[in-house]
A and B are shown apart, each in its own frame.
Chain A
Amino acid sequence: MTARTAEAGSAQAQSRTQAHGQAPGLGTLPVLDVDALIDDPGTRIVVCCGAGGVGKTTTAAALGVRAAERGRKVVVLTIDPARRLAQSMGLTELDNTPRRVEGVDGAPGGELHAMMLDMKRTFDEIVEAHTDPERARAILENPFYQSLSAGFAGTQEYMAMEKLGQLRAGDEWDLIIVDTPPSRSALDFLDAPKRLGSFLDGRFIRLLTAPAKAGGRAGMRFMNLGVSGLSVFTGLLNKLLGTGLLRDMQTFVAAMDTMFGGFRTRADATYRLLQAPGTAFLVVAAPERDALREAAYFVERLAADRMPLAGLVLNRMHGSEAAHLSAERALAAAENLEEEGIVDLPEDSPSSPATAERLAAGMLRLHAERMHVLARERRTRDRFAALHPEVPVAEVAALPGDVHDLEGLRAIGGRLAEQPGVEPA
């Protein structure tokens, strides 16, 4: 598995990475050079994937700001950004078209545009673009269509891919940065659209909606179930889903089918776009065991599907400027000070020695805690690196608070780009 990943990852990765020394025993690990990636005119699409809550939206937005301020014309497609982050980019309404983001330094000639994905609108627009107004209306009013477009598992992923395809086809942008929907697993972004596509094109939906047309052996077998099995089943569905649902579904599938030749074909087309040379995947992960296990699955999957991986972003890593002071020494010193403080506790004046001791002890305890976190994060990172030594990594330090303005995004962008061993461009 590792060998395969190495092959697929290396062609692109090599030009953008520089090896640098790591902890003893690990040899050299490639470092992800984000600036080289976003400056390269050959890079047209960057997809930020990862498990839920790891920082995909933040990374996508930060890369967008940075690429624009380095002179590229960028659009960021965000999905469900946190309210304050959206506001800071001027995204106050879900209107499904890119808006210019104010406050971005345009001196180098770049621009930043951003949009939030409106999955229902995107779905509606597909329908509207591919049929005459009258039939489009019939479909949009179809209850089955409505529940499908509002919340079927996988619709969001499908529509994100669809929107990406549209943005790319327009060829209006130097660089498209795509955020991916919150899901438990990064794999969902790759799998859900196909699942929805094959569900809609699937055998059973055809049997139910047009048994005669589907015909063939499957149809025969279905009939062999006997009328009782079929009617009981459709009867149950009708009861559970509302009587008109099967009929709605039938109308819907028939209309979709004649219009644009099936969902699967469309999903397949966008899938191929993701394999194209101008695309780069960034896998975002938190430095935690489960998150990195997920990231490893995803890396292997990208390789298997020949999708170009640019690297791994390890987000919210902790660091310390006093890393030379070990947790053990800090704790021992804190205990000393606390004992001392108890012995001669004077009347409290703000700068009395007791207070200074208490404060110093507290500061040392916090430091020890920080060093423990650091050590744990390193261990997790090194385990990933041992499994996938070919994957370039960029570490991003955690900011003390949430990231919800352009300033914060710039800080994240800076941290993404400034990696040990990468020369500032």
Chain B
Amino acid sequence: MVTGKGGTGKTTVAAALALALAEEGKRTLLVEVEGRQGIAQLFETEALPYEERKIAVGPGGGEVYALAVDAEKALLDYLQMFYKLGGAGRALKRLGAIDFATTIAPGVRDVLLTGKVCEAVRRRTRAGGFVYDAVVMDAPPTGRITRFLGVNDQVAGLARVGPIHNQAQAVMRVLKSSETAVHLVTLLEEMPVQETVDGVAELRATGLPVGGVFVNMTRPAVLDRAAVRAAEESRTEIAKALSRAGLGGARRGGRAEQLIGPLLRQTHEHAERLALEGELRSEIAGLELPAYELELLAEGADLPGVYLLAGELREQLREQGVAR
């Protein structure tokens, strides 16, 4: 499960993770549940139907499948499965009943969406192995994740016996098992980190298994505060260096000398940001979770970019000894 504050890169990280986990001979499934066709957009394919489709081959050679779960269709399936509703299902749909049920109670949607994903997790081939070695979900944002994943507990409590109760319990067993990991994506900015810290606390309190923190869009550290202080004290030498590099005269009023002020101010901003990022990193470290870093891609996270991120992730997963 990949969650995080809105816009931090959940869809991107989920896709990169599904690619990274698709090692030679393995098969992963990338699932989205919010009806936004984010996967199709990222992989530059047409809109995904409610059906598993192969969309890519991972850098390790395995296959990546994708699925966009549609809550409305899932509800019809569900009704069919438990009640053999037949044509009445379509009639309910025409009346707006399905739409009603899936909007009125986010709970209904969530039961259906998590149910579908768990079905894919548990599905086996004829030979008895799992169909998918890993299922990666582009999950709802941090603010909703605990409710989203916890909904089956409530349902199991409401419907005390019968097929719905059993189904809800089975889903919860999968979600709370060590086979599941809820990963959080963050940026090195105040609000996303705060949301991550709060999210981890909430997940832990509910007994849901927290995975790792994915720090997205990191930038290289070039010069820190100490370097800025040193630079301020050696303006003359730096002006001379700039001049030697062909950027104009180092004397007062020379072009190289005039660059010093602006360049120093930019460097100061960079150093201040690094200092803030340092504080945020230690807050993340305080969570005592495995952490992964994904660099900021200059041209945004397009398809080649996602493969690049997948490659970085693959190495980091290996270093951290994550075999799955």
**Does B associate with A?**
yes
Residues of A within 8 A of B (CB): 51-53, 82-83, 147, 151, 153, 182, 184, 199, 202-205, 207-208, 218, 221-222, 224-226, 228-229, 232-233, 236-237, 239-243, 245, 288-290, 320-322, 325, 329, 333-334, 336-337, 340, 350-351, 353, 355-357, 359-360, 362-367, 370, 372, 376, 400-402
Query: Number of residues in B with C-beta < 8 Å to the partner?
Result: 64
* Contact residues, B238-261 vs A (CB, 8 A): 238, 240-242, 244-247, 259, 261
Cβ–Cβ contact B92 & A360, under 8 A: no
Query: Across the interface, do A363 and B223 meet the contact criterion of CB distance under 8 Å?
Result: yes
- B contact set with A: CB distance below 8 Å: 5-7, 79, 82-83, 85, 88, 91-92, 94-97, 99-101, 103-108, 111, 155, 158-159, 164, 189-191, 194, 222-223, 227, 230-231, 233-234, 237-238, 240-242, 244-247, 259, 261-270, 272-273, 276, 298, 300
Contact between B234 and A351, CB atoms less than 8 A apart: yes
Nearest chain B residue, comparing its CB with the CB of A359: B231
Structural contact, B244 and A372, CB atoms closer than 8 A: no
Residue pair A363, B264 in contact (C-beta under 8 Å): yes
- Residue numbers in B under 8 Å from A224 (CB-CB): 91
Task: Find out whether the CB atom of A333 lies under 8 angstroms from the CB atom of B266.
Answer: no
Cβ of A320 and Cβ of B95 under 8 Å apart?
A: no
Closest Cβ of chain B to A191, distance in Å, is 13
- State in angstroms the CA–CA spacing of A256 and B88 once bound together: 31
CB <8 Å contact, B247 and A362: no
- Given contacts A351-B233, A363-B238, A400 and B244 within 8 Å (CB-CB): no
CB distance from A174 to the nearest CB of B (A): 31
State the majority secondary structure of interface residues on B: helix
Whole-angstrom CA separation of A209 from B272 in the bound complex: 59
Which chain A positions have C-beta within 8 A of B276?
401
**Contact between chains at A356 and B237 (CB < 8 Å):** yes
Q: Report yes or no: A199 in contact with B107, Cβ–Cβ below 8 A.
A: no
A400 & B223 in contact (Cβ 8 Å cutoff): no
Assess whether B269 is in contact with A400, with CB atoms less than 8 Å apart: yes
A363 touches B100 (CB 8 A): no
Mostly, the A contact residues are: helix
* 8 Å CB contact of B88 from A83, A226, A333, A359: A226
In the complex, what residues of B have CB within 8 A of residue A245's CB? 105
Chain A residues, CB < 8 A from B190 = 82, 402
| Shortest CB distance B267–A (Å) | 5
Do the beta carbons of A233 and B158 come within 8 Å of each other?
Answer: no
